[in-house]
Structure formats: structure tokens, C-alpha cells
Amino acid sequence: MRLHHQTVLTAFLTGILSLPCPLLAQPAAGTRVFTGATIIDGTGKAPQQNATIVVTDGRITAVGPASQVTAPANAERISLAGKVIMPGIINAHGHASSVANLATYAAYGVTTVYSLGDESADVFAAREAQRTVSPPHARVFVAGPVLNPSSVSEARAQVAAVVAQGVDIVKIRVDDNLGTTPKMSPDVYTAVIQEAHARGKRVAVHLYYLNDAKALLAAGADFIAHSVRDQPVDASFVKALSASTVCYSPTLMREVSTYVYESTPAFFADSQFLAHANRAWMTTVTQPARQEATRTSASAQRYKAQLPVATKNLKTLHDAGVPIAMGTDTGPLGRFQGYFELMELEMMVDAGLTPAQAISAATRDAAKCMQIDREVGTLETGKWADFVVLEASPLARIANIRRQHSVWIGGQRVGAAR
């Protein structure tokens, strides 16, 4: 009889233990709860103090004031009391030639890079992998080879080739490099745009001149990837661009990079810069002969002289309602990934944007411009948990964007605290 009772009790307990019900507390697998911080969610709402973010399997499942968010039982809790959380920075115009570059971007708080040309095979592979699993480096989108066809037939063939490669956007150059090289003709770039659109792809354009910007906009270009720098934008262009859905990326730091190495720049002594800087680049650009060549370069000095034009054009277009997507053209020699994005934000504020407007251009608006806003750009339920934790609010002072405590991609910490 006793044996029968023991058997029944054992069976009962075994059944209870196997029941999929809340009788026994189960840990929330893959769930983290970030508490105590002030959250700038990127939507335009006022910052939320003492807020909570719940992240499960890399995505945000709840976010808001602590009083309104219920954290799952047994989830890992991470206190960020006294800190400020903002969406990860999005660079709408960078260049990633390796996965190592993507790690460098992330180390400075840049959690997504739209790479506009010449990515390596491992970067394409990283783009594929991130579709389902958050990466330990910046997310990336790719353009493949920058197209520079010389005929309509070449244009169509080159577009077909990059689309077959699986690019996210097509990139072209319409620029004569200050009169030193041939420039793509209107019939050719029109063919590129038409062929890309027929194949379901948008076209980003490298340009310099106002007249080219007008013509490319009329031809159907989808993204202006640099500032107009030769002259102030006029009323007709402002009207046409503001009436379109085309976004504008100022890339002010691109201009800085053309002349700043005429001497050793002050930021070479910044510990934050030095933490992840490409030391080989630093050696190259500080060679005396190279610095002298920069000082005497006509093109470098012209770009330097035109930077105020680019800066004024940014303010004019922003005030007219043109969507601005923060971009830097980082990646080539001397354009330091990650750090230059922080400087770009400061330059945008110097141009007349408020800190909030500059941050929007580097988060929500950049995501919308690059058509990735369903996944990133704001801290909202369902999106990837990509964010930067700061020691102080960048809304109060844009330089606080440098005071980074930690960087998180898909709810996982990347890089090292500084």
C-alpha cells in the first residue's frame, strides 16, 4: 500500500514538473531589462526619466516609464541609473571595406552603416547574416561597386551586374573632380536611374555642383549623397527638393578630411579618438611631405574654401523641410570611421541645427531616408535594440554624444566602455 502511495506521489510530482504553466517560475530566456535611465527614444517625444527597456532575442518588447513597464520575472536586469539612452547612430553614407571597419564604427556608437560602395565579400556576408541575428558590430547595407559607365549600354549592363550581386542601393558618381576628370553625361546617368528603378533599386548619387543636383533630381535620383558645394542652393532647387521625397546627406567631414592634414589635427591627441583609430593612417597623414602637399594642393584648398557653402546649404535645405540624413563618407584614407560621425553631428549643430535636429538626422530620419526604419532608428517595440548609453544628454549639449558609457546592438554590448 505504501509502495502504491509512493508511486502515485511520484507520478503526480512528475506531471506537475512537466506542466507548461506558471506553477514553477521559469527564467525569461534571452531577455534583458535595462532600468533607471533617461530615454531619448528618437520619435520626437520628450525624454522619459526613470525608464525601462525590455529586450528579448535582440528586439525591444517594451519601453517606457518604469511605472508602465512590467519586467518579465527572472530576466537579466541591467541598471543604468543616471545614464541617458538614445538610438544608435546611423551613418547614411559611409564605406565599409571589411568587417573590422564595422567593429570600429560600433565602438564609437555608430550601430548602422549604409555603405555606398566597394564593400568586400565579408561585408556582403555580414549583411546577409544580420537578417536574422544581431551582429557584434555595426549593421551594414551595401551598394557594391560605384558605377561609372561611359555609355547607355554600359549603364544598363553595370546596373544588371550589381543588382545580381544583391545590393541594397545603386551608387553613381557625377563629378569631374574640380575639372580634372570626365563627368558622366546626362544620357548615361539617366539610363542608370531608369534601369535601377526597373529592377527595383534606388540610386544614390555622388555630386558636387548645383546644376548637376538639379538635373539628377529631375532624372529621378533617389538620394543625394553629398552637399552641393560650388554655390548656394537657389530657390528653384530648394522648392524641387523639398517637394520630392529625396533625402540629402551633407557629409561635411568629407570636406574637412581634404585639408585638415595640412598640419597635425588637434583630435589626434584625443584619447577617445586614439582608442580605436587606424594608426597606419595616422602615420601616413602626418608625414611632413604629405602635409606640405596638402597645404599646396589647389583642390584641398578649394574644398576648404567651399565648406562654408556646404554648411550654409545644409541649414537652408533643413529649414525648407528637406529630410536630412547624417553621412560622412568615412572609409577612405584619413576619414576615420566612427569618430568622424561624432564630429559630423557637432558640425551640423554649428551649421545651425539644434542638437535634437542633428540627432534626428542621425537616427530616425536617416533610417527613414534609407528605408530601414521598420528595423532601426528609434527605440520602439518590435525594433532591434540598438542604442548608445551616454553619461549626459546630447540634447543639452551635442558634445555629450562623445561621453559614451556603452554601445548595444541587438541588446548585446559591443566594444568596450570608455
**pLDDT tens per residue, range 73-87:** 889 999 999 999 999
Q: What is the pLDDT of residues 182-220, one digit of tens each?
A: 999 999 999 999 999 999 999 999 999 999 999 999 999
Residue 173: in which H helix or E strand, if any?
strand 170-173
Q: Are 122 and 99 in contact (CB under 8 A)?
A: yes
Length of the chain: 418
Q: All 3 cell numbers of residue 82?
A: 543616471
pLDDT at 12 over 80: no
How high does pLDDT run on average in the chain? 93
The CA-atom distances, in angstroms, between 402 and each of 7, 108, 344, 357, 407 are 65, 8, 12, 17, 12
Q: How confident is the model at residue 418 (pLDDT cuts 50, 70, 90)?
A: very low
> Which segment of 27-36, 42-51, 240-249, 390-399 scores lowest on mean pLDDT?
27-36
Domain 88-380: assigned CATH number:
3.20.20.140
Could you tell me which of 241, 244, 265, 242 has the C-alpha nearest to residue 253?
Answer: 265
Collapsing DSSP to helix, strand or coil, 78 comes out as strand
pLDDT at 307 over 60: yes
Q: pTM of the entire structure?
A: 0.92
Phi-psi map region of 65: left, alpha, beta (phi>0 left; psi -120 to 50 alpha): beta
Backbone angles phi, psi at 32, to 5 degrees: -125, 145
**Edge-to-edge strands of the sheet including 110-115?**
89-94, 110-115, 139-142
Residue 272 has pLDDT above 60, yes or no: yes
Predicted pLDDT of residue 30: 86
Domain map of the chain by residue range? 88-380
Cell (9 digits) for 232: 548656394
Q: How big is the CA angle at 167 (ends 164 and 173), to the nearest 5 degrees?
A: 105
Place of cell 526597373: 198
Read off the pLDDT of each residue in 131-154 and give the average, rounded to a whole number. 96
β-pairing, 203-206 vs 223-224, is parallel
Q: Decide if pLDDT at 244 tops 70.
A: yes
Q: Which long-range contacts (CB under 8 A, 24 or more apart) does 286-292 make?
A: 286/261, 290/261, 291/261, 291/262, 291/263, 291/264
How are beta strands 139-142 and 110-115 bridged, if at all? Answer: parallel
360, 362, 368, 372 alpha-carbon torsion, rounded to 10°:
-140
**Residue 36 burial by CB count (10 A; 0-12/13-18/19+): exposed, middle or buried?**
middle
69-125 pLDDT, tens digit each: 998 988 999 999 999 999 999 999 999 999 999 999 999 999 999 999 999 999 999
Q: Where does 192-263 show beta strands of DSSP type E?
A: 203-206, 223-224, 247-248
CB environment 175-206: b (16+ within 10 A), e (fewer): beeeeeeebbeeebbbbbbbbbeeeebbbbbb
